[in-house]
Amino acid sequence: MIALLTGTIARKAPDYIILDVHGVGYRLQIPFSTYYELPEEGNNVSLHVHTHVKEDAINLYGFRSLPEKNFFQLLISVSGIGPKLAKDILSNIQVDDLGHAIIQGNFTRLTSIPGIGRKTAERLVLELKDKVIKLGAYAPAKGETPAAPASALLDDVISALVNLGYKETVVHKLVADLEMPADASMEAVLKQALKLLMK
């Protein structure tokens, strides 16, 4: 699974980028938030990547920041939200604002995002509220307790489990619920995940 790519921007558009990595052009779909932060064509850039495998295609989604990628992966774990809609959501709202809206159950803000109706907004709040707090994917407002930072182990654990043959959607849901202390080792977290998957 591709998790990070560094290369030269061969072509840049509002919804995708072609990244030249040692002569190989990778087409990555991107949200507007990433597009606005990209340098001009011909410059080098590193993007965090989510690899989405379907029966008939492998699609790559690129993100300028790791919190944005992590939030994308949370969004696609929600029933009824696929990669395209998740990308569109992140194109219309900053990660910090989306995190606040989910934590606070702000349905007015959520339903103002194109593609999000009341039922989808309710699912977002119901399924992601605790996970967003745990992920720490939003900046806490004044007076709020800061959430734990996103674990650096997240990508490695997901990659290892997918390589072992577990379905990506199942893995994302499981990993979001794992207890991952700041000093946890890759081995310890992986063992914990495997125990849950084998139940």
CATH architecture of 66-135: Orthogonal Bundle (1.10)
Strands 44-53 and 58-63: antiparallel
pTM value is 0.66
The pair of three-digit structure tokens given for residue 25, joined into one six-digit string: 């052009």
pLDDT digits (tens, 9 = 90+) for 27-56: 999 998 899 889 999 999 999 999 988 888
Quickly state the pLDDT bin for 140 (edges 50, 70, 90). Answer: very low
Superfamily, domain 4-63: Nucleic acid-binding proteins (2.40.50.140)
| pLDDT above 60: residue 162 | yes
Of 189 and 50, the one with more pLDDT: 50
Quickly state the pLDDT bin for 105 (edges 50, 70, 90). Answer: confident
Q: What's the confidence (pLDDT) of residue 8?
A: 96
CB crowding 27-52: b at 16 or more within 10 Å, else e: ebbbbebbbeebeeeeeebebbbbeb
Q: Which residue has the tokens 């932060």?
A: 37
Query: Highest mean pLDDT range out of 8-12, 68-72, 171-175?
Result: 8-12
Domains 4-63 and 66-135 share a fold: no
| pLDDT above 60: residue 91 | yes
Task: For residues 175 and 167, give the distance between their C-alpha atoms in angstroms, rounded to a whole number.
Answer: 12
Strands 44-53 and 16-21: unpaired
Domain residue spans of the chain = 4-63, 66-135, 154-197
CATH architecture of 154-197: Orthogonal Bundle (1.10)
